[in-house]
Structure formats: C-alpha cells, structure tokens
Amino acid sequence: MSKEVTFSIIKPNAVKKGVIGNIIEQFENAGLKIAAAKLTVISRKKCEEFYAEHKERPFFGELVDFMTSGPVVLMALSGEGAVLKNREIMGATDPKKAAPGTIRAKHGDSVGENAVHGSG
C-alpha cells in the first residue's frame, strides 16, 4: 500500500448531534491523519455539482436539501491506503447494514442522513 489522500465530509446530521470529535477520533485511531479541515455550509450550486453523478436518482433533491441544511466538516484524510481505510471506518451506505462500530452504524440516522461521505 502507498500513502494516499482522500476526501471526507462529516454531514449535517452528525455536526448537529455534536459527534465531530468522536468521528475524527475514529479516523485518527485507525491511523489516518487530518491533513486539512474546514467547517462550512455548502452552497446548493456546489452541492449539485458535487453530487452530479446522482442527479437522475429519485433521492437527488432530498440529498441536496439535506447536505445544504447546516454546517458540514470538509476534510482531507491522509495515510497508508487511506481510500479503503476510510470506507472501512465509515461502513455501508445504509446505517442498518453497516458493520457494528463503524461511523455509520454509530451515528447514521437513515440511508440519506448517514453521518459521513467518503470519496474514492
């Protein structure tokens, strides 16, 4: 494996619940470093561009409404095999199917409001 950088978002439901620290701790405990981080509200336009691959899906409007509903934390995670490691730590898209102990199992509220995004 080689050192990689991957993009992560702590979604509005997780920021609202006050679990930013817990989520970052899980990344750090797994050996990932927070290489950059910013708390911000994403604009509708940026969000629609970011999720363009899903624009024909029935949940697109709901996804954009949710992702722009409050502050998120944008992060760059770095480390050995960061892309795969991030996916493992996040768990499956649907929190009900996510492995116990994963971020989505712990903090996800639904398939849409699933606490974190991971790129790659």
Which residues are the active-site residues?
Answer: 117
Q: Does residue 108 interact with ligand ATP by CB under 6 A?
A: no
Using a CB cutoff of 8 Å and minimum separation of 24, what contacts does 34-38 make?
A: 34/75, 34/76, 34/77, 35/5, 35/75, 35/76, 35/77, 35/78, 36/74, 36/75, 36/76, 37/73, 37/74, 37/75, 37/76, 38/73, 38/74, 38/75
Among 68, 83, 84, 112, binds ligand ATP (CB under 6 A): 112
Site mask, ligand ATP, residues 16-35, x = CB under 6 A? Answer: --------------------
Q: Which of 59, 61, 80, 88 binds ligand ATP (CB under 6 A)?
A: 59
Q: Which of 20, 37, 83, 111 binds ligand ATP (CB under 6 A)?
A: 111
